[in-house]
Structure 1
Amino acid sequence: MTQEEGVAAKVKQRAVRWLEDNRGLVIVLFCLPASLIFDLAMRVRCWVRRTFFSAPEKHDDRVRVIQKSVSEWNKLPSSERKLMCTAKPTWLSLSTTFFRKDQCHQIPIDLFDILELNEEQLTIRVEPNVTVRDLTRYLVPKGYTLAVTLEIGDATAGGLAFGVGMTTYSHKVGLYQETVVSYDVVLGDGSLVTATADNEHADLYRCLPWSHGTLGFLVALELKLIKVKPYIHMQYIPVKSQAEYCRRLMELSGALDKDADVPDYLEATIFNRERAVIMVGNFADVKTPKQWLQINHVTRWYKPWFYKHVESFQYKSGEEYIPLADYLLRHNRAIFWVLESMIPFGNNPIFRFFLGWMCPPKPAFLKFTTTKVVREMTFAKQVFQDIVLPLDTLKDQVNTAIELFDTFPLLVYPCKIFDHGLQHQGQLRPPPKERLTPGTNYAMFNDLGVYGTPGPVQRREKYNPTYAMREMEKFTRDVGGYSFLYADIFMTRKEFDEMFDLTLYHQVRDKYKANGAFPHLYDKVKPEIDVIAIGNQYAKGN
């Protein structure tokens, strides 16, 4: 290393350290106001689009424009045909990676409308860019919600369909993909197909989840709904030992007994190795004065962040009634608990009262303003992972996460993973027979959410994110789990093929003209930077 390079490295290290020490101040003074302006501009843009350009009856016309664009791509000389992707800016996605769309042929997918609500069949047909916030505002007043949704309002129906979605209702219905009735997809040759579980495109239907836009362009999908009541009666159950919260979640989720009386919503927040709060929620009406006094609008700007509210029940049980729309978006305001890493004083009552209305910083804005240095720092100094793992391994999951990351809280959502009786049922392998709940075709898995700043980073001890993440991925493969692919992965291609079953995926890519038209799944989701090399470099610098 030359003297100049050594000086540059020291300056960079000091700049990163200053940002770490003063990140709350920087975000409050610059990011929050800029993010607010950015968000207002996005909302105006959305209002204009929905007020003047929304036209569900013109959906077919818009799809034909997309087909025409793909057909024109096919007419290009082979030497000029880059792989296709959507023209949606990378910073608008909720993934933590920055796929190089500038190296692809971008096709605009300007589809933002709710197309049809079928109250008899309990389904809704939507275009892919409709957001969770849009659907919540549309459905809840009518007495419905998606069977599987997400707590972040900016997530889109299409993003969840081609990525993955899980919620606290998933112990009853499974992943988001289990609630999709049909997909309308424009293929690499410009043709339009509708894929369902039992039509001639059933193989495509099984592979579209977890495909991340590598098989075609989604132009519409039909989703299952559930009937709801206006409130969630929430019970907070403090648990004082690891053995107890592992046992209670197995029982409450119905993992041990298919006939168990399970709650409508179920989750746990783990605050240290031994202590957790289990949340049991059921649809409810509020009728009595006592019940009215127990209503808690948890998403209001001046309220404690939801996970901090939950933390207050570590040593005492409690109950309340949460308006359904508030419950569905309960983690939006603090981005689960990621905001604490950005604004350590953000849950202070004074800050919440005067500035809480500006939170959270818009995820799209944070990505839009991410520089190379910030990008490297965020994955090297923070962890943001969701992992699908067998629920009966919860003790080992938690202990492994503590050993590797030492950050709390940890999130747990139980979720059914189905065996549909097929050798190759998509990218997810069927659960082992010995894990199936007796008398069923499903096993109970869970999402383990690990978010925040690792303990060694907080204590300024040596920490190697490459080692930590690769060990977590190895544990996940060993127990038959899956990494959510919106976050940075550290797997080699061989390890990726061990975690996921790509047999049918490769057959579908060939059959439906995706080869040569769209990136391969691994290439689409792998980080755009060398996370292993950069992680090792940061480890040396600690």
Structure 2
Amino acid sequence: MRRARTGAGRVQLGKPSSNLFRFGDRDTGRGAHRLDTSALDGVLAVDPGGAAARSAGGAPVSTAEVQGMATYETIVAATLPHGLMPLVVPQLKTITLGGAVTGLGVESTSFRHGLPHESVREMDVLTPAGELLHVTPDGEHADLFAAFPNSYGTLGYAVRLVIELQPVRPFVRLTHRRYPTATAVAGGISELAGSGADFLDGVVFGADEQYLTTGEFVDAPMPGARVSDYTGQEIFYRSLQRRPVDHLTVHDFIWRWDPDWFWCSRAFGVQHPLVRRFWPRRYRRSDVYRRLVALDQRFGASNRVRSALGGTAEEMVVQDVEIPVERLAEFLEFFHTEVGIAPVWLCPMRLRGERAWPLYPMEPGRLYVNVGFWSSVPERPGDRWAHNRLVEAAVADLGGHKSLYSTVHYDEDEFWAHYNGAAYRAVKERYDPDGRAPDLYRKVTGR
């Protein structure tokens, strides 16, 4: 159906929070009419018995009907009491379901269940043209369903989605394995991705210290084992170096990275024992840290301080990239040499099924590794984004892909070559013929 609208100007989602890392002059929203979606933030229903959904083989599938602005924190709170969770829960609490589907999300179940959009069975999408469409994989708007992932709101906004859920058990037992080289950790990923583990991810502390973590659902900890709590004084990522085996409640496991934003809380001193003791626990959250970064980027405070002290301005290098597992060692060698940020997150992933997704053309059946790095390095004189450009070039050379939630520096022709410009333009013309939303290149580059 078509919804009434006024004027013919640009439109943009009016979100109260964001997990994007594009600030200041990269914002394309100036002058756009902001759509108030603040009320679309709930879980409408949970169907734990699979009464409304069936698999291709006819088995019941547990699902949740969720509004697009619902955060994963809200979704998990609604599904865990039923002994269920989404197939993939991105690692930060305030990522929204709509954001993870129109962007990309990844977590330690992604080697088994792919990306969040692959568990969507249907959705209602408000297009920039003002139409509210019911979108399914095989229906009238199958082209929009396929192109929606990695479109970042430029083809419309999901206001309601039905997603598949998986059963959980009360605890997760973690096993941390250390690897001495990038080649060894890549081999470990290939081996463990074929195991019966429920979860798999890892951390690179340096070229000679890498860990892979497998997680298994269990009903209770091993006899005599403690259940860890990383919402207090202890820090999760440091436990990989100290505890070969660990146990968490399923709730705390899902959100294990959020209290310290992986390891990025150290930039605010929160990992110092004294600061941590007095930093209120309710403010040890990724969204709090992200707001602090946004303020710093808006006013350039940290670089002003560095300049006043005679230091060098720093380039923010915040990216997630997908590298084929057989090229991972090459990428890590490049990264240690040319960028030098540590730690680095590793998250194995492969598409859930045989279906390909046109705007993020990964090969079905192929194992990739998401490499996440989030810090800053000294700027190179005369090139504010030198390190980010190096990363983009290396990813392309190794047959990988780069997520678009942060800064993007490809020129336009190269961008569309990587992100299937022909497929995008066909869908854009159908669902936004007047260009009320920016196209994807303009949206993610600010150009």
The 3-state SS of whatever aligns with 2:149 is: coil
CA distance in 2, matches of 1:463, 1:229: 54
Partner of 2:248: 322
Say yes or no: does 1:403 pair with 2:328.
Answer: no
Q: Hey, what does 1:295 align to over in structure 2?
A: 227
Q: Indicate the residue corresponding to 1:84 in structure 2.
A: 11
Amino acid at match of 2:421: L
Report what 2:185 is aligned to.
245
In the alignment, residue 399 of structure 2 is paired with which amino acid?
A: G
Partner of 1:141: 81
Structure 1 pair 526–462 and aligned structure 2 pair: CA distance change class (3 A):
closer
Change (3 A) 1:287 1:86: closer
Distance 2:190 2:384 in 1: 31
Q: Which structure: larger Rg? A: 1
Once the two structures are TM-superposed, the CA of residue 462 in structure 1 deviates from its matched residue by 6.6
User: Which one of the candidate residues 109, 114, 120 is aligned to 2:43?
Assistant: 114
State whether structure 2 residue 372 is matched by structure 1 residue 449.
Answer: yes
| Distance change >3 Å, CA 205–CA 395, structure 1 → 2 | same
Q: Which has the higher helix share?
A: 1
- Does the 8 Å contact 2:70/2:96 carry over to 1? yes
Match of 1:307 in 2: 237
What residue in structure 2 maps to residue 93 of structure 1?
18
Q: Is the 8 A contact 1:231 1:285 kept in 2?
A: yes
1:290-315 Cα shifts (integer Å, max 9, x gaps): 2xx321122x2222x211222335xx
1:72 to partner: Cα distance: 2.0
Q: Is residue 353 of structure 1 aligned with residue 277 of structure 2? A: yes
In structure 1, what is the equivalent of residue 415 of structure 2? 496
Alignment length (residue pairs): 422
Q: Aligned match of 1:285 in 214, 219, 222?
A: 219
Q: Which runs of 5+ in 2 are unaligned?
A: 51-60, 305-312
Residue 262 of structure 1 deviates from its aligned partner by: 3.1
Does the CA-based 8 Å contact 1:187-1:514 persist in structure 2?
Answer: no
Q: Deviations over 1:10-63 (max 9, x none)?
A: xxxxxxxxxxxxxxxxxxxxxxxxxxxxxxxxxxxxxxxxxxxxxxxxxxxxxx
Structure 2 CA distance for aligned equivalents of residues 85 and 473 of structure 1: 27
Alpha-carbon distance change, 442 to 451 in structure 1, aligned in 2, over 3 angstroms? same
Paired residue for 2:292? 366
What CA distance in whole angstroms lies between the structure 2 residues aligned with 1:226 and 1:353? 36
Counterpart in 2 of 1:37? none
The amino acid of 2:351's aligned partner reads: I
The residue matched to 1:200 in structure 2 has which SS? coil
TM-score where L is the length of structure 1: 0.73
Residue 217 of structure 1: how far off its partner (Å): 2.5
Write the distance in 1 (CA, Å) between the matches of 2:433 and 2:75: 30
Q: Secondary structure at the match of 2:70?
A: coil
Residue 338 to residue 193, structure 1, CA distance change in 2 (3 Å): same
2:103–2:150: 8 Å Cα contact kept in structure 1? yes
Aligned residue in 1 for 2:318:
384
Note the C-alpha offset of 1:223: 1.1
Letter in 1 for 2:126: V
How does 1:64-83 map onto structure 2 within 5 Å?
A: 68=3, 71-73=4-6, 76=7, 81-83=8-10
Cα contact 2:314–2:376 (8 A) shared by 1: no
State whether structure 2 residue 139 is matched by structure 1 residue 199.
yes
In structure 2, the CA distance between the partners of 1:225 and 1:178, relative to structure 1 (3 Å rule), is same
Quick one: percent identity of the two aligned structures?
A: 22
**What SS does the corresponding residue of 2:77 show, helix, strand or coil?**
helix
Cα distance in 1, alignment partners of residues 124 and 210 from structure 2: 42
Which residue of the other structure, out of 359, 375, 385, is the alignment partner of 1:427?
359
Displacement of 1:104 after TM fit?
Answer: 1.1
**C-alpha distance 115-133 of structure 1, shift in aligned 2 (>3 A):** same
Q: Which deviations, in whole Å up to 9, do the C-alpha atoms of 1:313-359 show, x marking residues without a partner? A: 5xxxx21211111111111111111121232xx32333323325242
Which protein has the bigger strand share? 2
Matched, 1:478 2:401: no
Aligned to 1:331: 257
Deviation of 1:246 after TM superposition, in Å, equals 1.5
| Structure 2 residue matching 1:102: 3-state secondary structure | coil
CA distance in 1, matches of 2:401, 2:297: 29
Q: Quote the Cα distance in structure 2 between the aligned partners of 1:349 and 1:421.
A: 48
1:351 match: secondary structure:
helix
Superposed, 1:43-82 pairs within 5 Å as 68=3, 71-73=4-6, 76=7, 81-82=8-9
Q: Distance in 1 between matches of 2:289 and 2:428?
A: 32
Query: What's the offset of the Cα at 1:266?
Result: 0.4
Q: How far is 1:404 from its partner? A: 2.1
SS for the counterpart of 1:103 is coil
Change over 3 Å in CA distance of 1:464–1:262 after alignment to 2: farther
Partner residue in 2 for 1:4:
none
> For residues 474-510 of structure 1, what are the alpha-carbon distances to aligned partners after superposition, in whole Å with 9 as ceiling and x for unaligned?
1111222221111111111112112211222211111
Give the alignment's TM-score, normalised by structure 2.
0.88
Q: Are the equivalent residues in 2 in contact too, given 1:418–1:430 (CA < 8 A)?
A: no
Give, in whole Å, the separation in 2 of the partners of 1:466 and 1:376.
17
